[in-house]
C-alpha cells in the first residue's frame, strides 16, 4: 500500500531541493514558488509511480514530462523563460545513487578484487547501475525537452 505521508514528505523535500538549486542558479524571486510547485509535482509523480511498481526510468520520464508540459504555460504567466522553472525542478531527480554504485563497483573491480567470481559480479554491477543511470538521465532530458520543443508557439515576450 502507498504510504501517503511518506510520499508527501519526499515531495516536499524534492520541492525544497528544487528551490535550493534555483537559488544556486540565481533565479528571480518571483519564480521560487513555481520551482517549488514543479519540484513538488516531480517528487509526487515519481514517488507514486515507483510505489505502483513502475520502472524508475519510466517514472522519471513521466515526472520530467510533467515539468516540461507545465513549464511553458507558467513561463507565459510569470514572464520568464521555461528553463528557469524546469531545470531546478528536475535536478533532484538526477540518479546520484546509481552513479555512486557504478563508481564504487568500478573502483572495487579495478583496485581491490582478485576473485574471478566477484569480478564478474562487479562487472554486472558496473553495467547494470551505469546503464540505469544513463537511461534515467536520457529520460529526464527527453521529458523536459520534448514538450518545450513541441509546445512552443512563440517567445515569452510579445513583440
CA gap 20, 26 in Å, rounded: 10
Q: What is the pLDDT of residues 75-98, one digit of tens each?
A: 888 888 888 889 999 999 999 999
Give the CA distances from residue 133 to residues 52, 57, 99, in Å, rounded to whole numbers and listed in that order: 21, 9, 6
* pLDDT band at residue 111 under the 50/70/90 scheme: confident
Q: Is the pLDDT of residue 159 over 70?
A: no
Q: What is the pLDDT of residues 21-46, one digit of tens each?
A: 999 999 999 889 999 999 999 999 99
Contact at 8 Å (CB) between 34 and 9?
A: no
User: Between 148 and 126, whose confidence is greater?
Assistant: 126
* Residue 69 neighbours by CB under 8 Å, 6+ apart: 147, 151
* pLDDT band at residue 154 under the 50/70/90 scheme: low
Please tell me the predicted confidence (pLDDT) of residue 2.
66
- Could you tell me the pTM of the whole model? 0.87
Q: Is the dihedral of CA 85, 146, 128, 53 positive or negative?
A: positive
Give the CA distances from residue 32 to residues 27, 61, 71, 146, in Å, rounded to whole numbers and listed in that order: 7, 23, 13, 24
User: Between 5 and 1, whose confidence is greater?
Assistant: 5
Q: What is the DSSP letter of 159?
A: -
Contact at 8 Å (CB) between 37 and 55?
A: no
Please tell me the predicted confidence (pLDDT) of residue 134.
97
Amino acid at each position: 500500500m502507498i504510504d501517503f505521508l511518506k510520499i508527501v514528505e519526499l515531495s516536499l523535500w524534492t520541492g525544497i531541493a528544487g528551490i535550493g538549486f534555483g537559488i544556486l542558479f540565481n533565479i528571480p524571486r518571483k519564480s521560487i514558488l513555481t520551482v517549488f510547485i514543479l519540484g513538488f509535482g516531480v517528487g509526487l509523480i515519481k514517488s507514486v509511480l515507483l510505489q505502483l511498481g513502475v520502472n524508475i526510468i519510466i517514472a522519471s520520464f513521466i515526472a520530467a514530462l510533467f515539468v516540461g508540459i507545465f513549464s511553458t504555460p507558467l513561463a507565459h504567466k510569470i514572464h520568464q523563460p521555461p528553463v528557469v522553472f524546469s531545470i531546478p525542478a528536475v535536478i533532484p531527480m538526477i540518479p546520484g545513487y546509481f552513479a555512486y554504485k557504478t563508481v564504487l563497483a568500478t573502483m572495487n573491480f579495478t583496485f581491490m578484487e582478485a576473485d574471478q567470481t566477484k569480478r564478474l559480479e562487479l562487472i554486472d554491477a558496473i553495467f547494470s547501475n551505469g546503464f540505469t543511470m544513463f537511461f534515467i538521465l536520457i529520460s529526464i532530458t527527453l521529458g523536459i525537452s520534448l514538450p518545450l520543443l513541441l509546445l512552443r508557439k512563440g517567445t515569452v515576450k510579445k513583440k
